[in-house]
Each structure stands twice: as structure tokens, then as C-alpha cells.
Structure 1
Amino acid sequence: MLGERLKKFRKDAGMTQQQVADLMGVSRPAVGQWESGQTSPSLEMLSTLAARYGVSRGVLLGDEPENSSESNIAPAPKMAGMAPLISWVQAGMWSESFVEINEDTEFYPRPAGASANTFVLRVVGESMIDEYKPGTLIFVDPERAAKSGDDVIASLIDSGEATFKRYIEEPGTGKFLKALNSAWAEPYLQINGSCRILGVIVADMRIRL
């Protein structure tokens, strides 16, 4: 039964056996053996798998119902696959060329509704500190069209650098990027023709270790 649940929740998360193997540092046949019931992952691995699949370890083990009617907490939205954590340099190239994903790349569950091309960045700097502290993980969907008020990643044409700001459109005045730091010396940057929107932030996550 554990093997069947491992297979079910892996498929629900939109992951292949090879993706699970890469994330867990094991071979693909090892994942297949877990799902066929020939072997079982350790409790530590089960906890990691449960987090990746968006369920509790108790649900994964069958000790808790998947949707408990006794709980007063609504179930979390189902995640749909994984998104890679990339560098800001890679972000500037994301839609122009292939960005290498290797065995050291960290992956995080992709938010429901985000496209398969969603990637993750770790916030650096303080231009957005009023809402996003440095170290916060932000999920960027390059297929989401930016609307005024969205927080976006943009590539500055002159420098090729990626920047994180709020996208603003004002009738009669044009398009701007705005830093959310209330102490920022020059919070507005007019962008007509000077930058390209790489993607819209669809979620953020803070990891507390």
C-alpha cells in the first residue's frame, strides 16, 4: 500500500520517477522498487517526499486520511511539478537561451496554476524590502502577462541585468518599475523601450531553518 501511495502522490505532483530519483539522490530503479513495494525509503526520505508531494508524512504512510473531515484547516492547493532555483544571471537569460539545470540545482514545488516554465529566485538587495526580505524565495512565471500592480522580474536592455520591482502603468505617463523600499532614493524607473519583462511573481516562500 505504501508503494501505491508513493506512486499516486508522485503522479499527482506531476513528477517522473527520474525527477524523484534526482531529487533524492538515488537511482531511478530504486524509486521504482519503492513504488512496487520491493523496498521502502527511510523515514527521513519519506518526510522529504511528503513535503515534495504536498502532503503530510502521515498521509503518505496511510496513518492519516488524505482529506480529513475533522480538520478545520483547508487542504493546501495541489502543487504541479517542481521549479528550479536559478541565479539572477541565469534569470536574465531565461527566455533567450538554455539555462543549465544540473544535479546541484535545488527544486521547489511549483504553485498551482503556474506554468511549467516557472523558475525560482532568491531575493537579494533591499529595493523590495518592505514586502520581500533578502533570502525570500520568489516564484517567477515567464508565461504570465504583466498587469499594472504585479511584481515582476525585468531585464534592463542596456546592462542585461535582471531586476525585481513592481510594474506600474499610468495612462498618459507610461510604464514604470517601482522599488517598494519606502527609503529608496529613486523608487521609480521609467521603462518605455528600456527593459523587457521576464516574468511575474506568482508566489513567495520564506524558509525558516
Structure 2
Amino acid sequence: MTAVDTLPPSDGRPELLVLRAIKLGDLLVAVPALHALRRAFPDHRISLATTAWLAPLVELVPEVDVHLAQHGLDHPIGAPAGAVDVAVNLHGAGPESSDLVAALGARRVIGHADPTNGFDGPEWPDAVHERDRWADLLRWHGIEADPDDVAIARPDAPPVAEGAAVVHVGAFHGARHWPTDRFAAVVRGLRERGLDVVLTGGADDVER
């Protein structure tokens, strides 16, 4: 699935647009919510506004019909006002994301409470796992969601390492780097279960 800059012409279905414009892990923890939205809105075309370079992963989430390129919150979402029936804010509860969602002029908005834009919803919870955060949000809006419903499709390309467990040691912000001894403990546990382990990361992660 190729990321597009603007919402394609309607295919006759009502539009549901999800904002989740961050990075790899952020998209993965939103997968249960995407599953739940597809079950709740089977007749809608679902567009996911997220980072363009995540296209190979978005391709593995069959609930998504359209991948809208949206890196960060410093530019409008590429959908004309009034074209979206249901807008879902899986990005956050601050004005940056809420204002972008409000600009869509959707009939229904699913998100956390935002009195400034007149959005009803639960208060933003702290110290909650992201999968639970989004499942709880949807439940508040009357949509059943299971935070453990994490399955994605298998890619067509053969795996680089057959049957391996992948441990990603990187993070975009240094403050979010997990201590290396904890990664080592995870790897030891996986190897004790008989799994080969592949470590992934960027050039800055090699030393760690």
C-alpha cells in the first residue's frame, strides 16, 4: 500500500479516518483499536493518517483501506472538510491533534475529552499501557475492543531469519532508551525458550 498525500475520491462508502501520526511502535500498539473499528464500522472506508515510511507495515493491517501520509502534526490532514463521516483521534488529547481532527468537520469524533473543540470523551489517563489506552477509549464510545487483539498479516517476502524473535533496541528519543541489561534479560529469556533472536536498531544503536 502506497501512502497518498490526499484522500482519494470516494468509492461510495462513508469515510472513517484515524489519526496516528507517529512511529513503528506507536502504530503497532494501535492495531487492536484498528481491528475494533473495522468490526464496528464494516461498511466504512478506513483511512489511517500516519507516517509515510510505515507503508510496509500499514500494508499488513488489512483493516486499513487508505494510508494517508501524515508525519507529525505541523500540517493539516489531507482530507477536505466535510468528507469524513467518523474521525478517530488515536494520537493524543492535546490541541495539536484535536485541532487537526476538528478541521475535518466529521459527523462523529471518537477521542478523549476536549472542551475547546466540543469533543466528548474520557479524560486522558496517565500510566496506562498504550494498547489499553486505545481499547478503553473505544469502549467509552460504545465500541468493544480487545487490547490483546494484536495480529497483523504476514508479509509476502520471505523472512530474513526464519522463526526468529525480533528485539528492537532503538528509540527515537534517548530518554526512552531501555537499559541494555533489561534487553539482555529479554534476549536470555527468549533463547531459553529455544528461539533464535535478531536485534534491530539504527546506526546509533550499534554500541548499545
TM, length-normalised to structure 1: 0.24
Higher helix residue share? 2
Select the structure of larger CA radius of gyration. 1
TM, length-normalised to structure 2: 0.24
Give the structure, 1 or 2, with the largest relative contact order (CA under 8 Å, sep 6 or more). 2
Higher strand residue share? 1
